[in-house]
Structure 1
Amino acid sequence: MDFFIIDGAAVIRQLLYDPQNPLLFNNGFFVYFFFLLILFYYLFREKYTIRTLILSLFSLYFFYKASGSFVLLVIISAVIDFFLSNLIYKQKNFAAKRSLLALSIVSNLGLLFYFKYTNFFLEICNNSFNAGFNPLNILLPVGISFYTFENLSYTIDVYHGKIEPEKKFLNYLLFLSFFPKLVMGPIVRASDFIPQLKKPYVVTGRDFTEGFYLIVTGLFKKVVISDYITINFVNYIFDAPSLHTGMECLLAVYGYALVIYCDFSGYSDVAIGIAKWLGITIPDNFNSPYQSASITEFWRRWHISLSSWLRDYLYIPLGGNRHGTFRTYINLFITMLLGGLWHGASWNFIVWGGLHGGALAVHKLWSGLTKKEDKSSSWWGRILSIILTFHVVCLGWIFFRASSFDLAFQMMQQIAFDFSFDALTPFIDNYSSVLIMIALGFVLHFLPASITEMVKSGLERMPLVGAILVFIAFVAVYAFFKTAEPVMPIYLQF
């Protein structure tokens, strides 16, 4: 009978936040969490308010399990911007309206600055003025960069009259806290999200199939490809590049390019797939970015929700391309510089953003001189453009991944001055499985969209037992490649 005895203390520990094991999509606890959510959500699918309440409570609990008491920040942020947006909308006096918007911007950016940039600012003061400030013990709240930008876009859109403010606080709270996109995006606009909450819950066969496809392929990209390459190759090289040849360093950069894509796009795919099963559509966040033939095209395909946010709420307000060529280049550079800073309080991220800003300006200049669009005049010209763009992006990834300037420059120095194929044979012998995984990742990335659609159509026609077998096969592959050491998603730190 001891078999049926439940350890109450163990159950309670499982339900509480564990900083060593935060709740994410690849966490075993998530299966039970999502099963209960789907059960209650479906039972009350016809009751709009109850359905919204259930999804809000589950979302807040998910965030509590992912970040502990920082869940209060999401609630506080929702309260502030819900009331400020309604005050902005009702206010007839222009100066008062602008002051309320300023209050919203200051409160959102103030919280972001305190948690994310305080110690970076103190470090700058110490280095510049020998100030002697001690760093503060500040933990970075999970997802704060994402929901801060969602708050800002909402109040700014209300201020400009693009949308009317939401009248029900519960709807706005769910918009901000919706768990699939809360931790790592995509960054969603209220005008796209909130109206869907007021529609009947409908999930078509196509929605279920696409959700299933996105969840399985997203998890495969994250927990099989990205995690395996990270643990077994990329971390070794980037932690001590001077101990490896230029060939090894270059392949590690290629590996990291795949790692960060599979890690982030995989998580985004799972988020979009789960949302589809809940009857909510979240915009795509990636579109085969390494197929881009220019840096401009890359930013139309990479982290689409961030690049479109930077365009609409930073680049265009700065003047966009409305004030002459030189000013356009400056606006591009500033936008990407701040985009780099958004990623983290580090000079490496600022340099990464500056590199992309400079590359965007150069491409715009080149396009203006040649009068050519992103599409090359021939197939081989496009291939050369794709290869060049990929290597420009990889140069930026060196600064993005390296923990310091010194390690970034060591990486580039090894590639430039110590490149040799002398150790190629032992390298292949030692890292054959990693190289196969990298090759598989790039092959999947460059598959034509028509093949993806063909797979989705096949899944849609497949009976339920077939879908179960596919999922079992995925679990078997996951169990085989699963790393002993858990790998936190890269964008979790942003």
Structure 2
Amino acid sequence: MNRLKNIFSFSEDFPLIFTQADFWIFFAVIYFVYALLYKNKHVRSAYLFAISLLFYYKTSGFFIGILLFSTINDFFLGKAIYKSTSDIKKKLLVTISVVINLGTLCYFKYAYFFTDSYNAIFDTDYKVFNYLAHWSNSWAQMDYFTVDSIILPVGISFYTFQTISYSVDIYRKQLKPLDSIIDFGFFVSFFPQLVAGPIVRASDFVPQIRKKIEISREQFGSASFMILKGLIKKMLFADYIAMNFMDRVFDIPEMFSGFTNIMALFGYSLQIYGDFSGYTDIAIGLALLLGYQLPKNFNSPYKAIHCGDFWKRWHISLSSWLKDYLYIPIGGNRNGSLFSYIFVMAFTFLGVYAAFRNYAIALLSISLIGALLIITLFSSKLAKHFNTNVNILITMLIGGLWHGASWKFVVWGGLNGIGIVFYKYWRKISPYESSTAWYTMIWKIGITFLFITFTRIYFRGNSMEHIAQFYHQVMTNMDWGNALAVLWEYRMVFFIMLLGYITHWLPYAAKDKIENLFINSHIVVKGGIAVIVGIICYQTYAADFQPFIYFQF
């Protein structure tokens, strides 16, 4: 009973993580109750909303207040937008919604980034001060919260984007607001995908809230398969190779050869895929057990044949969100906007100054962009190329910044944007573009995979100094003579990596066949497979659990 009490009470040391036994005890208890009341639609929504709040409280403690604030704010703003008959008022209300949501996100996620950038540019020494915590302590007349740091609430990037899309879709007349704040709260906080996605659109989820729930044998089998697949991806293909190889290398890259650093980078591509897609597989499976369908978030991304194709396969819910709510509104492939031009000038200045610490070079860079912008005024064809490519780069830069409040994430996003733009022009002259021969496809997939993998050093590197050490080792100390020794020393890690990539690159038909065999198998067979998976995962489990990577976003 003490363990059950601990599971349902808050503890900073024991959050509910999909890979821990405590979560599955938690889910078993709430699922048993759910089975008794799921037929009543109103009670079902209220119950899952309450459970989702409890889950988030277990994960984030008092930061549940931010989630509730976002929920209440956008519920009433959504209603006001829908009822308003004035276009100006509608625009004002949706702007308020976006500003409040992004303002909250920026406060918690980007306070250090903006402060450090300001200090670097103006040679100041300002420190971050948590005014929200200060006001809360003053109101409560007790020191509940620390004021000298700002902690990032888990999942804030995900549910913020969900609530923004809700208000914007109502403004666009693509959605009617929900009548019940319970239903809306359930949509925002649905616990399987709350802390790390996928990002759910209201237009996709809201129709499911009042539908009749019937979980078929096929749905149960599919849900179980997704959960088991997710656990293998996370605990075997992600955590095992991270703990036994990659974390050691990335912590001190200068202590390992260039060859070892490169192998760690290949391992990281598998780790981050296994970690994030593993989470979403489990989330989709849990939602399906409860009778709800979440959107597909990954589609074999390392089968992509170019960078743009990769971003249609990786974190699909974010990529489509950025396209619909950022890329198209700022002009898409049609034209530019004042936002586009201001953003690219400001980011160019800040980025160049951050790299060279020289005002003259930064000013020269934006002067060149300004000159190019003036030239486009005299050529509509050049203007279209300029505007489209600028909008792509802005979208990818913001996508990079969404992933982390650091210039290394901006660089990572920018490199991916350059990759997309480069392919746009390369495909027009490539003699292999229309070829579907197997060797051509392998070449395209291989080149794309190498590009995605090597840009990830800016995603995984602990700092720009560590990234510089990585490049230094690769350029000056490959140490090919000891490559076989490295492969043998970490043979089990590399075997797991090879197994992970082989399963990823299996044909879709083979994967579907495996899934269908599991779905159509007897319940005893399903149970046996679940036990085997549990044993394998337990063998790779570490005392210090590995949180999902995307929890930090």
Write the distance in 1 (CA, Å) between the matches of 2:190 and 2:389.
37
Mean alpha-carbon deviation: is it higher for 322-331 or for 192-201? Answer: 322-331
Equivalent residue, structure 2, for 1:458: 517
Equivalent residue, structure 2, for 1:366: 426
Write the distance in 2 (CA, Å) between the matches of 1:330 and 1:222.
36
Write the distance in 1 (CA, Å) between the matches of 2:178 and 2:432.
44
Amino acid at match of 1:251: M
Equivalent residue, structure 2, for 1:60: 53
Write the distance in 2 (CA, Å) between the matches of 1:86 and 1:292.
41
SS of residue paired to 2:179: coil
Equivalent residue, structure 2, for 1:327: 387
Equivalent residue, structure 1, for 2:280: 268
SS of residue paired to 2:11: coil
Shift of 1:378: 2.3
Amino acid at match of 1:56: F
Amino acid at match of 2:303: Q
Write the distance in 2 (CA, Å) between the matches of 1:172 and 1:441.
39
- The answer as to 2:375 corresponding to 1:315 is no
Write the distance in 2 (CA, Å) between the matches of 1:27 and 1:115.
28
Shift of 1:14: 4.0
Mean alpha-carbon deviation: is it higher for 408-417 or for 429-438? Answer: 408-417
SS of residue paired to 1:318: coil
Q: Which residue of the other structure, out of 384, 396, 408, is the alignment partner of 2:467?
A: 408
Q: Which residue of the other structure, out of 63, 69, 80, is the alignment partner of 2:73?
A: 80
Q: Which residue of the other structure, out of 117, 140, 165, is the alignment partner of 1:153?
A: 165
Equivalent residue, structure 1, for 2:178: 166
SS of residue paired to 2:329: helix
Write the distance in 2 (CA, Å) between the matches of 1:14 and 1:377.
53
Write the distance in 1 (CA, Å) between the matches of 2:175 and 2:428.
36
Distance change (3 Å), C-alpha of 1:257 and 1:167 = same
Q: Which residue of the other structure, out of 347, 368, 390, is the alignment partner of 2:407?
A: 347
Amino acid at match of 1:344: G
Q: Which residue of the other structure, out of 295, 305, 310, is the alignment partner of 2:307?
A: 295
Amino acid at match of 1:342: W
Shift of 1:15: 2.7
Write the distance in 1 (CA, Å) between the matches of 2:193 and 2:431.
39
Write the distance in 2 (CA, Å) between the matches of 1:15 and 1:202.
28
Q: Which residue of the other structure, out of 118, 129, 138, is the alignment partner of 2:122?
A: 129
SS of residue paired to 2:446: helix
- The answer as to 2:291 corresponding to 1:231 is no
Amino acid at match of 1:325: H
| TM-score of the superposed pair, with normalisation by structure 2 | 0.86
Cα deviation code 1:60-102 (max 9, x no counterpart): 1111111111112111111100100110011011111111011
Structure 2: gaps (5+ residues): 130-148, 336-383
How many residue pairs end up in the alignment?
Answer: 486
Shift of 1:246: 1.2
Equivalent residue, structure 2, for 1:468: 527
Shift of 1:168: 1.2
- The answer as to 2:200 corresponding to 1:188 is yes
Equivalent residue, structure 2, for 1:356: 416
| Aligned residues of 1:40 and 1:54 also touching (Cα < 8 A) | no
| TM-score of the superposed pair, with normalisation by structure 1 | 0.96
SS of residue paired to 2:456: helix
- The answer as to 2:94 corresponding to 1:35 is no
Task: Give the % identical residues.
Answer: 39
- The answer as to 2:491 corresponding to 1:479 is no
Write the distance in 1 (CA, Å) between the matches of 2:500 and 2:546.
18
Equivalent residue, structure 2, for 1:49: 42
Equivalent residue, structure 2, for 1:208: 220
Shift of 1:30: 1.1
| Aligned residues of 2:187 and 2:202 also touching (Cα < 8 A) | yes
Displacement over 3 Å in runs of 4+: 10-14, 368-373
Write the distance in 1 (CA, Å) between the matches of 2:193 and 2:280.
8
Distance change (3 Å), C-alpha of 1:51 and 1:14 = closer
Q: Which residue of the other structure, out of 373, 377, 384, is the alignment partner of 2:443?
A: 384
Amino acid at match of 2:509: S
| Aligned residues of 2:17 and 2:547 also touching (Cα < 8 A) | no
Equivalent residue, structure 1, for 2:103: 110
Write the distance in 1 (CA, Å) between the matches of 2:428 and 2:387.
15
Equivalent residue, structure 2, for 1:440: 499
Shift of 1:461: 2.4
Mean alpha-carbon deviation: is it higher for 264-273 or for 14-23? Answer: 14-23
Write the distance in 2 (CA, Å) between the matches of 1:284 and 1:440.
23
Equivalent residue, structure 2, for 1:336: 396
Distance change (3 Å), C-alpha of 1:24 and 1:448 = same
Write the distance in 2 (CA, Å) between the matches of 1:468 and 1:397.
38
Cα deviation code 1:6-61 (max 9, x no counterpart): 55xx6544432222221111122111211122112111122110111111111111
Q: Which residue of the other structure, out of 78, 93, 97, is the alignment partner of 1:100?
A: 93
Shift of 1:367: 2.7
Equivalent residue, structure 2, for 1:3: none
Shift of 1:315: 0.6
| Aligned residues of 1:37 and 1:55 also touching (Cα < 8 A) | no
Write the distance in 2 (CA, Å) between the matches of 1:190 and 1:143.
17
